[in-house]
Amino acid sequence: MSIKVIYFEKLSTASHEFIEAFKSPGTEVAYWDQLNDSQKELCLSQAQYFIVSAFPVNRQLLAKAPNVKLVLKTGAGVDNIDLIATDEMGIMVACTPGVNANSVAEMTIAQILCLYRKLIFVDKKTKQGEWLMFEHRPFMFEMRGKTHGIIGMGNIGKQVARLSKSFGTKIIYFDICRPSAEREEELGIQYVSFKELLSMSDIISLHVPLTPLTTNMIGKEELSLMKPNAILINVSRGKIIDEQALAQAIENKRLLGAGMDTFASEPINKDNPLFPFDNVLLTPHVAGGTCDALRKILEMCFQNIAKMEKGEIPDNLVKKS
């Protein structure tokens, strides 16, 4: 009897090659974006495993898939999966924590450097024939000597701290789960309160999951506490920041700039208030999406499927709460 898997994300050449390389003999993978409506219904009725990234796994979808026993999330954040429904239906959920941490961390640094050196803006102007060799130098900055405030000191936050420190920054952080003093000393990081971090940092980057506690974590009040020359980087989840409040802060020159890889609505709405600003860098939720990370993530997913088929407990199971 074959093993039935549905891969829900848009298929690329790389993801197809990795899946074909890692799946075990007898495993059939259906690619959601290549199925018509009747094929989708049939695959759902037969599937035993889901592999998802951002695709919403809700109660309605799960109700059409009575044989599913494991949902595999390609990443750490599981806010797109109805964990109450999977728990009630006896379906396990496993994620791949830490696998894309370096990809996200590198993107964080890349966004900081792009904003500090105005790379997107000066690239555009140079291609338009303008030679702004001196005009923007007084408004460009180095990371060295700056205070980088990291909100969320998980796998990604720790890697961001390591990379940022290599540029000569001072690292302060806030997290509701504080590492040990020994771990803080090892990483060279200093714990501060949330409000202290907002007021002390030249750079603030967000690395927390989307939960009721983190929704709109950064709003009008929090933005007002930040330095007027601070930059804000969000590579976690869009709803953590009040986008309208951020747009107003940028318009009123309350911040030097912002880098946003995730948004409250994805794909991003055409009327998003952050579109007009040259000092806001917008990317389409690609921080964790390198080919290197994808390979490791898909390998981990199929290793977990193999474990389930052997009657073993999968790695990195997600709890409902």
Tokens of 226: 């930040």
In the chain, what are the domains? 3-99+290-309 (3.40.50.720), 101-282 (3.40.50.720)
Q: How confident is the model over 146-177, as pLDDT tens digits?
A: 999 999 999 999 999 999 999 999 999 999 99
Cis peptide leading into residue 267 (ω within 30°): yes
pTM summary value:
0.90
Structure letter (DSSP) for residue 178: P
Q: State yes or no: is 285 an active-site residue.
A: yes
**Helix, strand, coil percent content, the chain, rounded in steps of 5:** 40, 15, 45
Report the SS3 class of residue 263. Answer: coil
Structure letter (DSSP) for residue 295: H
The residue from 130, 185, 251, 266 that is catalytic is: 266
- Per-residue confidence (pLDDT) for residue 11, from 0 to 100: 87
Tokens of 131: 């030679």
Q: How confident is the model over 266-304, as pLDDT tens digits?
A: 999 999 999 999 999 999 999 998 999 999 999 999 999
Tokens of 33: 């974006």
Whether 52 has a pLDDT exceeding 70, the answer reads yes
Cα–Cα distances (Å) from 1 to 46, 122, 296, 309, in that order, read: 12, 58, 27, 12
Q: How many CB atoms lie within 10 A of CB 278?
A: 12
- Per-residue confidence (pLDDT) for residue 77, from 0 to 100: 86
Whether 99 has a pLDDT exceeding 60, the answer reads yes
The residue from 148, 207, 222, 237 that is catalytic is: 237
- Distance CA(183)–CA(34), nearest Å, equals 47
Burial of 76 (0-12, 13-18, 19+ CB in 10 A): buried
Q: How confident is the model over 177-204, as pLDDT tens digits?
A: 998 999 999 999 999 999 999 999 999 9
DSSP string, 186-201: HHTEEE--HHHHHHH-
User: What are the DSSP E strand ranges found in the chain?
Assistant: 3-7, 27-31, 49-52, 70-73, 92-94, 147-151, 170-174, 189-191, 203-206, 231-234, 257-260, 280-282
Query: Comparing C-alpha atoms, which of 114, 107, 100, 101 is closest to residue 258?
Result: 114
Under the banding of pLDDT at 50, 70 and 90, the label for residue 320 is low
Q: State yes or no: is 266 an active-site residue.
A: yes
Whether 1 has a pLDDT exceeding 80, the answer reads no
Query: Comparing C-alpha atoms, which of 274, 251, 143 is closest to residue 203?
Result: 143
End-to-end Cα distance, the chain: 35
Q: State yes or no: is 136 an active-site residue.
A: no
- Distance CA(282)–CA(247), nearest Å, equals 13
The residue from 148, 207, 243, 285 that is catalytic is: 285
Cα–Cα distances (Å) from 178 to 151, 156, 209, 316, 321, in that order, read: 11, 15, 15, 21, 19
Whether 321 has a pLDDT exceeding 60, the answer reads no
| Bridge partners, residue 6, by sequence | 30, 50
